[in-house]
Structure 1
Amino acid sequence: MPAEHTEPPVTAFILVKTTPEWLALTVQERAHAFTTQVLPAIEAKTTGVRSRFYDTEFYSARVTDVWVWEARDHHAYQLLIDALRETPFWDRYFEIIDLLVGTENGYARTYGLDPVATITT
């Protein structure tokens, strides 16, 4: 029996820059804002997404943070972006610099190849 076709997960790298309004908040206020303003909006709009956050302000003046969001499919990603846009994190606390969206190893699926990856020990 052939394997069931499933859409590859979507990964979005959202490059952002903090605003003075965000930086004026205390660390506790920032954590509270995320858990009370962002998480509920996402949970109300979509399922099948997860996030990771990377600080880059040590190395870049243009991009202070990279938000990495993985969504199970394009529809979940679209719902995620709609949810984020309805929160103060979108262009109030953070300026959205760029969205880089892709699927891992898309070339391998397109050409029927094994993915190339590196692991060193």
Structure 2
Amino acid sequence: MPAETTQAPVTAFMLVKTTPEWLAMTVEERVRAFTTEVVPVVEAGTTGVRSRFYDTEFYSARVTDVWVWEAEDHRAYQFLVDALRETPFWDRYFEVVDLLVGTENGYARTYGVEAVTSIST
């Protein structure tokens, strides 16, 4: 199988921790802040990006949430981070603890082999 010549999608696992300012808000205030202060900036500054959110505060004291961002390429991911940094999300409502960025099955693309996967039923 030949290696793909197109750029692979980028997946970023953004590990964040809520700040006291975020936790001091009511749930309604948090939803309003996110939908009015963060989402419009991200939507205006990016294309080709989707997100999913995972709560981890029940299992970790260091990271309260993992935000998974899937971007169609590295440029789209860069625009996403640039947009987020212009919002209160970045270092005001959340501390960005770590960014783990990669491409799914990159080794398979590099070596021109089939990706190894598992299926359990």
Q: Report the residue type matching 2:43 in the other structure.
A: E
Q: How many residues align?
A: 120
The equivalences for 1:101-112 within 5 A come to 101-112=101-112
Match of 1:31 in 2: 31
Q: Distance in 2 between matches of 1:118 and 1:110?
A: 20
- Quote the offset at 1:6 in angstroms: 1.8
The equivalences for 1:1-121 within 5 A come to 5-121=5-121
Q: Distance in 1 between matches of 2:5 and 2:43?
A: 27
For residues 14-55 of structure 1, the C-alpha deviation after alignment (integer angstroms, 9 at most, x for no partner) is 000000100011111111111111111011111000000000
For residues 40-94 of structure 1, the C-alpha deviation after alignment (integer angstroms, 9 at most, x for no partner) is 1011111000000000000000000001000000000000000000010100000
Q: Distance in 1 between matches of 2:26 and 2:116?
A: 43
Residue ranges of structure 2 left out of the alignment (5+ in a row): none
- Tell me which stretches of 4 or more aligned residues in structure 1 moved more than 4 Å: none
- Quote the offset at 1:5 in angstroms: 3.0
Residue ranges of structure 1 left out of the alignment (5+ in a row): none
Q: Distance in 1 between matches of 2:6 and 2:26?
A: 43
Q: Name the % identity.
A: 79
TM-score, length-scaled by structure 1: 0.95
TM-score, length-scaled by structure 2: 0.95
Q: Distance in 1 between matches of 2:77 and 2:26?
A: 30
Q: Distance in 1 between matches of 2:106 and 2:69?
A: 17
3-state SS of 1:116 partner: coil
Q: Distance in 2 between matches of 1:93 and 1:45?
A: 20
Over the aligned positions, Cα root-mean-square deviation in angstroms equals 1.5
